[in-house]
C-alpha cells in the first residue's frame, strides 16, 4: 500500500498523475493537490474517463509550510511528488521533515526574486533528511533526471573514465503558435536569458546567453541550431563524475523563437523587477505569462518530436570510445495518452518512474540525492515501459566541437 501526494496540476502534474494511475498496483492511493483545485478536478475527471482510475484531489498553497503540513497530516502519504514550481521546493521539503514524508521533485529551488538556480539550498537539507530517515530525490524529470541516469548508465557499463559530456536537448516539434514556451513561461524565460556556464578542467566557464552555437543532427529530426546554456544537472553530474574534463548543455531554438525572445527582452517584458501599473505592483514576466499560451494547451495540434540525450567521450580498456544515448518522444503520442504535449510528458513519466523506484525499493537510502547517484538499470527498464524508450549509438562521430 503506497499513498502519494502530487503537488502541482500543470502539464507535468497531469502526466505524472496519469502515469501513476496507470501503475495503480504500486500507487495504491493518489492525491493530486494544487493551488487551484478545479485544475486537479479536471485532470482527475480525464483520468477516470480514460483509465477508469479514481484519484483524490485537494487544495494547497505550497508557499505556506503550515498548509502543506496539514495536507500531509490529512492524507498520510509515503512520498510527495513536487511538480509545482521551483519556488515551492524548500517549503515542501520543510513540511516533509515535519511530517515524515519522502520527497521527489523535477526542478531545483529558485528564489522568486532572483533568477538563480543551484543545488546548494536543497543539498543543505542532506543531514536533516538523513537524521529523519527520509529520502529526497532531486531533479527527476528528463533534464534534469533521465540525463543523470543516462550518464550513470554510461559510466556503469561503457566507460572506465568519462572525459567529455554534452547533453543535447532538441524540441523538433511545431505547435503552430507564433510564440509559446513548452513549460511554465516564467521559469523557462528566466532559465534561458541568464548567462550560460559550462564545466571545463575543474571550473565553471561563464558564457553570454546564446554565445555558443553548434548545428547538430538529431535522430529522426535532422539538423537544428543548438545553443549552449547552463542547466542544473551539470552541477550535480560534475560533482558525481569527477573524471569529466568538460560538461556542457545544448538546447535548440528556432529563429522565430529567438526573435520573439529578443523583442520581449528589449521591451522589458522578461524583467522580474516589479513595476507600478494602475496603482499596483506587477512583475512584467508574470504578466507576460498570463498572456502567453498555457503550455498545457499546446498538445492537441503539436506535431513532431523531442529528442534529448547524452553524447559522451572517454576511455574504455585503454581505448578512446564515444557513446550517444537518447530518447525521441512524439508530441502526438504524449497527447493521445495523457492529453498533454511532449515536454510535459518527458518530465512526468520520469517523475512517476523515480517514485516507482522508491516505492518498490529499487532506489533507497536517506538524505538528499540526485538521480545519477542511484542504480540506473531498473529505472531505464521502467521508464522505457512507461513510454520513453532509449537508444544507443556506439563509436560514431558525436559532431561536438571541443574548444581545447
The binding site for ligand NDP (CB under 6 A) comprises 7-13, 34-36, 39, 60-63, 83-86, 88, 106-107, 141-145, 183-184, 187, 295-296, 343-344, 347
> Closest approach of Cβ 83 to ligand NDP, in Å?
5
Contact between 271 and 186 (Cβ < 8 Å): no
> In 260-366, where do the E strands start and end?
275-277, 280-282, 305-316, 319-330
> Closest approach of Cβ 71 to ligand NDP, in Å?
10
> Closest approach of Cβ 67 to ligand NDP, in Å?
8
> Closest approach of Cβ 187 to ligand NDP, in Å?
5
> Closest approach of Cβ 25 to ligand NDP, in Å?
26
> Closest approach of Cβ 251 to ligand NDP, in Å?
11
- Residue with smaller CB distance to ligand NDP, 185 or 314: 185
- The Cα 305–Cα 331 span in angstroms is 5
- Residue with smaller CB distance to ligand NDP, 64 or 131: 64
> Closest approach of Cβ 3 to ligand NDP, in Å?
19
Which helix H or strand E contains 226, and what residues bound it?
A: strand 222-229
Query: Max CA-CA distance within the chain?
Result: 68
> In 45-201, where do the E strands start and end?
56-59, 79-82, 102-105, 135-138, 161-171, 196-200
Contact between 62 and 70 (Cβ < 8 Å): no
65, three cell numbers: 509550510
DSSP state of 371: G
- Residue with smaller CB distance to ligand NDP, 342 or 367: 342
Q: At what angle do helices 89-99 and 65-75 cross, to 10 degrees?
A: 50
- Residue with smaller CB distance to ligand NDP, 23 or 347: 347
- Residue with smaller CB distance to ligand NDP, 14 or 200: 14
Task: Give start and end residues of each alpha helix (H) in 167-227.
Answer: 185-192
- Residue with smaller CB distance to ligand NDP, 144 or 314: 144
- Residue with smaller CB distance to ligand NDP, 267 or 290: 290
Burial class (CB in 10 A: 0-12, 13-18, 19+), 266: exposed
- Residue with smaller CB distance to ligand NDP, 296 or 367: 296
- The Cα 245–Cα 314 span in angstroms is 10
- The Cα 284–Cα 271 span in angstroms is 6
> Closest approach of Cβ 80 to ligand NDP, in Å?
12
Contact between 359 and 78 (Cβ < 8 Å): yes
Burial class (CB in 10 A: 0-12, 13-18, 19+), 370: buried
> Closest approach of Cβ 232 to ligand NDP, in Å?
8
- Residue with smaller CB distance to ligand NDP, 155 or 351: 351
> Closest approach of Cβ 131 to ligand NDP, in Å?
27
Q: In degrees rounded to 5, what are phi and psi of residue 92?
A: -70, -40
Residue closest to ligand NDP when measured from CB atoms: 10
What pairing do the DSSP bridges indicate for beta strands 213-218 and 280-282?
A: unpaired
- Residue with smaller CB distance to ligand NDP, 252 or 347: 347
- Residue with smaller CB distance to ligand NDP, 13 or 314: 13
Which helix H or strand E contains 248, and what residues bound it?
A: strand 246-252
Dihedral-angle region of residue 145 (phi above 0 means left; psi in -120 to 50 means alpha; beta otherwise) = left
- The Cα 51–Cα 39 span in angstroms is 18
> Closest approach of Cβ 293 to ligand NDP, in Å?
11
Amino acid at each position: 500500500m503506497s499513498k502519494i501526494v502530487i503537488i502541482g496540476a500543470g502539464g507535468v502534474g497531469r502526466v505524472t498523475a496519469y502515469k501513476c494511475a496507470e501503475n495503480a498496483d504500486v500507487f495504491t492511493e493518489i492525491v493530486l493537490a494544487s493551488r487551484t483545485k478545479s485544475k486537479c478536478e479536471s485532470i482527475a475527471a480525464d483520468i477516470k474517463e480514460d483509465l477508469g482510475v479514481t484519484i483524490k484531489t485537494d487544495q494547497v498553497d505550497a508557499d505556506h509550510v503550515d498548509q502543506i503540513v496539514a495536507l500531509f497530516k490529512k492524507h498520510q502519504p509515503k512520498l510527495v511528488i513536487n511538480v509545482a514550481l521551483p519556488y515551492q521546493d524548500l517549503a515542501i521539503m520543510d513540511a516533509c521533515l515535519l511530517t515524515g514524508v519522502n520527497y521527489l521533485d523535477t526542478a531545483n529551488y529558485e528564489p522568486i526574486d532572483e533568477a538563480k538556480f543551484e543545488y546548494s539550498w536543497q543539498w543543505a537539507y542532506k543531514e536533516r533528511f538523513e537524521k529523519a530517515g527520509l529520502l529526497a530525490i532531486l531533479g527527476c524529470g528528463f533534464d534534469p533526471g533521465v540525463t543523470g541516469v543516462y550518464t550513470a548508465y554510461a559510466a556503469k557499463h561503457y566507460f572506465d573514465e568519462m572525459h567529455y559530456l554534452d547533453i543535447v536537448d532538441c524540441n523538433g516539434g511545431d505547435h503552430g503558435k507564433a510564440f509559446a514556451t513548452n513549460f511554465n513561461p516564467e521559469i523557462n524565460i528566466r532559465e534561458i536569458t541568464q548567462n550560460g556556464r559550462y564545466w571545463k578542467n575543474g571550473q565553471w566557464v561563464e558564457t553570454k546567453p546564446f554565445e555558443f552555437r553548434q548545428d547538430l543532427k538529431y535522430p529522426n529530426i535532422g539538423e537544428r541550431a543548438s545553443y549552449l546554456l547552463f542547466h542544473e544537472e551539470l552541477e550535480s553530474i560534475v560533482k558525481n563524475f569527477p573524471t569529466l574534463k568538460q560538461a556542457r548543455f545544448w538546447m535548440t531554438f528556432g529563429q522565430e523563437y529567438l526573435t520573439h525572445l529578443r523583442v520581449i527582452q528589449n521591451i522589458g517584458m522578461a524583467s522580474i523587477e516589479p513595476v507600478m501599473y494602475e496603482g499596483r505592483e506587477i512583475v512584467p514576466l508574470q504578466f507576460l505569462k498570463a498572456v502567453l499560451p498555457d503550455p498545457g494547451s499546446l498538445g492537441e495540434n503539436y506535431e513532431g518530436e523531442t529528442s534529448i540525450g547524452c553524447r559522451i567521450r572517454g576511455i574504455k580498456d585503454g581505448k578512446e570510445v564515444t557513446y550517444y544515448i537518447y530518447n525521441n518522444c512524439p508530441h502526438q503520442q504524449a497527447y493521445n495518452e495523457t492529453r498533454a504535449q511532449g515536454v510535459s510528458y518527458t518530465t512526468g513519466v520520469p517523475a512517476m518512474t523515480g517514485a516507482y523506484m522508491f516505492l518498490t525499493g529499487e532506489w533507497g537510502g536517506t538524505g538528499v540525492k540526485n538521480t545519477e547517484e542511484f542504480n540506473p538499470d531498473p529505472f531505464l527498464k521502467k521508464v522505457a515501459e512507461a513510454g520513453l524508450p532509449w537508444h544507443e549509438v556506439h563509436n560514431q562521430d558525436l559532431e561536438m566541437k571541443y574548444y581545447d
